[in-house]
């Protein structure tokens, strides 16, 4: 049995990014876009992980269970590209159970509520000078260490 990682927040974000990569035809960037502008493809996703929160505070210490919230920013050259990317991301992630070595994962859940419409990013243009549109989606994931008895 492999011991669980001590960085479940990183594991969760990487698992979400891996599901997006295998389930959609779009490029996935983790935490930042680290390719030159002229090599960007559209639509694409940017996956932003956040620190995990413990599920239950225990008197005996941290049991290793965590909840994380991951933002998926859907980026495209048109509002319809962004909407389509958002639909694909939801289909690939919502109610899926990722595999993380040493951890037992629950289903990924899209946060309730209606995301806003695609917005124009006033600070970024495509390599050919076009406007860039984006919208964020938020997903939660719970996992706990797999215990051996």
18-53, pLDDT tens digit by residue? 999 999 989 999 999 988 888 899 999 999 999 998
For residue 1, being part of any structural domain is answered with no
Angle between helices 8-23 and 79-93 (to 10 degrees): 110
| pLDDT at residue 135 is higher than 70 | yes
Instruction: Say if strands 103-105 and 131-145 run parallel, antiparallel, or are unpaired.
Output: antiparallel
Q: Per the domain annotation, does 3 fall within a domain? A: no
Domain count, the chain: 1
- The span from the CA of 139 to the CA of 141, in Å, is 7
| Residue 2 counted as domain residue | no
The pTM of this model reads 0.90
Whether residue 89 contacts residue 137, with contact meaning beta carbons closer than 8 Å, is answered with yes
Give the whole-angstrom CA distance, residue 67 versus residue 46: 20
In this prediction, residue 38 carries a pLDDT of: 84
Structure tokens at 92: 């690939």
Q: What's the chain's average pLDDT?
A: 91
Q: What is the CATH number of the domain that holds 88?
A: 3.30.2000.30
Instruction: Please compute the mean of the pLDDT values over residues 1-7 and round it to a whole number.
Output: 70
Q: What is the model's pLDDT at position 64? A: 82
Residue 41 domain-assigned (yes or no): yes
Helix (H, G, I), strand (E, B) or coil at 37: helix
| Residue-number span of the structural domain to which 54 is assigned | 8-145
pLDDT at residue 127 above 80? yes
């Amino acid at each position: 049995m492999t011991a669980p990682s001590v960085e479940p927040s990183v594991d969760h974000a990487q698992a979400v990014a891996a599901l997006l990569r295998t389930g959609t035809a779009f490029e996935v960037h983790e935490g930042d876009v680290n390719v030159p502008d002229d090599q960007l493809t559209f639509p694409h996703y940017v996956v932003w992980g956040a620190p995990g929160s413990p599920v239950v505070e225990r008197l005996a210490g941290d049991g290793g269970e965590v909840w994380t919230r991951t933002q998926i920013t859907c980026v495209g050259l048109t509002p319809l590209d962004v909407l389509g990317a958002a639909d694909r991301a939801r289909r690939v992630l919502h109610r899926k159970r990722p595999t993380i070595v040493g951890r037992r994962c629950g289903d990924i859940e899209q946060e309730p509520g209606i995301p806003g419409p695609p917005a124009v990013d006033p600070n970024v243009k495509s390599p050919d000078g076009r406007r860039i549109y984006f919208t964020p989606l938020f997903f939660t994931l719970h996992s706990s260490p797999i215990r051996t008895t």
